């Protein structure tokens, strides 16, 4: 569905990929060079994400064409216009579970979208004070907690402990900062980080608590004022000799052209569609483990259902750590046994679940009951 508002100049799109497993849900992306194809691919990725965790939702994605750094008042008007355009969808939870934050869109921005639609935001973790954890909004924790859990499981699969393992992270926004926080707590050593402002490499390990504080003060410019290590170009990240690299920005970060330069033992994508299929084939032939992105970055969707069911941040973080680790271990074990890539293995599992799913719509109430079973929520 394409939408346009002549008063604000808002142009947007909503893609509903599937409602076969329950009301559709996904994030809202706002970037200047957004394409409809990108939004469609991301909506399909959301279907895979919900289904790999057996959660009762289908995939959706929303997109707004524009620079998220536009003046605040104009952005607010654009977001509200987008919400008005989607009112029939955002007010029907039997069809659309919700649209959440994504690249260029924070939790408070999602609140503006729903305000424009005249509907309450159904997911509190995106902006509620109740979901502030260690001084930061939950978005700086949830997906990152899952990234750390997936990385630990992947390292376990090659008999490498996470304590002392070296990591390179693409992006230091909500997901990258959250991943760094939990990797640091697990004893890992983050040695490189990139943002849109550049890159930083310190083989001795970056002081993550300090960098997190600098990010609160300086945003993506935190790398410039960190004061240690060496500056690197963002594309140098892929060739660093680390245990794990974490692509976390735009799609196709690792493709057939640069996969040969990857020197990590594990690729653990925090971003959607970060690794192309042919790149994953190439990495597997070289013995590099590539965890499916829709497993690694499933933390936010798990938290969404915990939140809807009335759970707490602690319950969400515990569920994310458990479920992401279990699915990662299961997929990697099945892939080793079959000889297929982990991505192909995970997609086949999703397709099997889709074919086994009943073919009539599932109401919001039915989806809640199913989510309680899957999450062991009482």
Average pLDDT value for residue range 318-346: 97
pTM to 2 decimal places: 0.93
- C-beta separation of 259 from 285 below 8 A: no
Partners of 60 in the β-ladder: 16
Tokens of 195: 């943002």
Interval 278-320: pLDDT, tens? 999 999 999 999 999 999 999 999 999 999 999 999 999 999 9
The CATH code for residues 2-122 is 3.40.50.10860
Residue 321 confidence (pLDDT) above 80: yes
Tokens of 370: 């199913």
CA 125 – CA 141 distance, rounded (Å): 11
* DSSP helix/strand/coil, 136: strand
Contacts with 355 (C-beta within 8 Å, 6 or more apart), sequence order: none
CB 376: neighbour CB atoms within 10 A? 9
Interval 111-138: pLDDT, tens? 999 999 999 998 888 888 999 999 888 9
Please state the length of the chain.
378
Average pLDDT value for residue range 215-242: 93
Residue 262 confidence (pLDDT) above 70: yes
Average pLDDT value for residue range 213-221: 91
Give the CA distances from residue 136 to residues 43, 209, 249, 336, in Å, rounded to whole numbers and listed in that order.
Answer: 28, 13, 21, 38
Give the per-residue pLDDT at 99.
Answer: 94
Give the per-residue pLDDT at 196.
Answer: 85
Give the per-residue pLDDT at 57.
Answer: 94
Residue 48 confidence (pLDDT) above 70: yes
Average pLDDT value for residue range 135-155: 95
Average pLDDT value for residue range 196-218: 94
Give the per-residue pLDDT at 197.
Answer: 85
Distance of CA 165 to the CA centre of its chain: 22
Residue 109 confidence (pLDDT) above 70: yes
CB 362: neighbour CB atoms within 10 A? 20
- C-beta separation of 297 from 315 below 8 A: no
The b-or-e profile of 6-25 (16+ CB within 10 A means b, else e) is eebebbbbbbbbbbbbbbbb
Residue 361 confidence (pLDDT) above 80: no
CA 284 – CA 253 distance, rounded (Å): 17
CA 370 – CA 358 distance, rounded (Å): 13
Reported in sequence order, the residue ranges of the chain that DSSP labels E, i.e. its strands, are 2-5, 10-16, 24-31, 58-65, 96-101, 132-133, 136-137, 166-170, 189-195, 198-201, 230-232, 244-246, 266-267, 289-290
Give the per-residue pLDDT at 342.
Answer: 97
Interval 236-245: pLDDT, tens? 999 999 999 9
Four-residue CA torsion sign, 160, 251, 169, 110: negative
The b-or-e profile of 146-166 (16+ CB within 10 A means b, else e) is bbbbbbbbbbebeebebeebb
**Average pLDDT in the chain:** 94
CA-based R_g, the chain, Å: 20
Give the per-residue pLDDT at 358.
Answer: 65
Average pLDDT value for residue range 258-264: 95
Average pLDDT value for residue range 233-254: 92
Interval 13-32: pLDDT, tens? 999 999 988 999 999 999 99
Band (327; pLDDT cuts 50, 70, 90): very high
Average pLDDT value for residue range 83-101: 93
Average pLDDT value for residue range 167-188: 96
* DSSP helix/strand/coil, 167: strand
The CATH homologous superfamily to which domain 140-339 belongs is: NAD(P)-binding Rossmann-like Domain (3.40.50.720)
What would the DSSP string read from start to end of 327-365?
HHHHHHHHHHHH-S-HHHHHHHHHHHHHHHS-SS---HH
Give the per-residue pLDDT at 360.
Answer: 67
Average pLDDT value for residue range 185-189: 97
Average pLDDT value for residue range 47-62: 96
Closest Cα to residue 290, out of 258, 257, 264, 268?
268
CA 243 – CA 304 distance, rounded (Å): 31
Domain spans, the chain: 2-122, 140-339
CA 307 – CA 309 distance, rounded (Å): 5
Secondary structure element (H or E) that encloses residue 296, with its range: helix 293-296
2-122 and 140-339 share one fold: yes
- C-beta separation of 271 from 284 below 8 A: no
Q: Percent of the chain beyond pLDDT 70?
A: 99
Give the per-residue pLDDT at 359.
Answer: 63
Residue 178 confidence (pLDDT) above 70: yes
């Amino acid at each position: 569905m394409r939408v346009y508002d002549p008063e604000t100049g808002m142009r947007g799109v909503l893609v509903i990929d599937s409602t076969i497993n329950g009301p559709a849900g996904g994030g809202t992306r706002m970037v200047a060079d957004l394409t409809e194809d990108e939004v469609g691919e991301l909506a399909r990725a959301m279907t895979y994400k919900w289904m790999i965790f057996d959660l009762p939702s289908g995939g959706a994605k929303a997109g707004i064409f524009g620079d998220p750094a536009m003046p605040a008042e104009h952005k607010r008007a654009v977001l509200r216009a987008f919400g008005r355009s989607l009112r029939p969808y955002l007010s029907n939870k039997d069809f659309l579970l919700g649209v959440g934050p994504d690249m260029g869109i924070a939790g408070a921005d999602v609140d503006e979208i729903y305000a424009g639609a005249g509907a309450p935001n159904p997911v509190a973790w995106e902006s509620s004070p109740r979901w502030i954890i260690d001084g930061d909004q939950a978005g700086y924790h949830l997906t990152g907690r899952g990234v750390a859990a997936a990385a630990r499981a992947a390292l376990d699969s090659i008999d490498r402990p996470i304590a002392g393992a070296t990591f390179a992270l693409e992006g230091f926004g909500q997901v990258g900062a959250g991943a760094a926080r939990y990797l640091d707590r697990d004893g890992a050593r983050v040695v490189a980080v990139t943002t849109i402002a550049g890159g930083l490499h310190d083989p001795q390990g970056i002081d993550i608590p300090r960098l997190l504080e600098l990010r609160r003060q300086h945003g993506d410019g935190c790398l410039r004022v960190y004061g240690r290590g060496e500056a690197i170009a963002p594309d140098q990240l892929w060739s660093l000799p680390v245990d794990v690299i974490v692509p976390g920005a735009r799609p196709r970060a690792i493709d057939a052209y640069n996969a040969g330069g990857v020197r990590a033992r594990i690729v653990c994508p925090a971003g959607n569609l970060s690794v192309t299929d042919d790149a994953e084939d190439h990495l597997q032939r070289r013995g590099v483990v590539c965890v499916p992105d829709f497993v690694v970055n499933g933390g936010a969707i798990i938290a969404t259902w915990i939140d809807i069911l009335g759970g707490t941040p602690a319950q969400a973080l515990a569920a994310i750590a458990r479920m992401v680790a279990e699915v990662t271990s299961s997929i990697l074990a099945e892939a080793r046994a079959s000889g297929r890539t982990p991505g192909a293995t995970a997609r086949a599992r999703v397709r099997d679940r889709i074919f086994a799913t009943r073919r009539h719509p599932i109401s919001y109430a039915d989806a809640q009951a199913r989510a309680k079973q899957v999450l062991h929520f009482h």
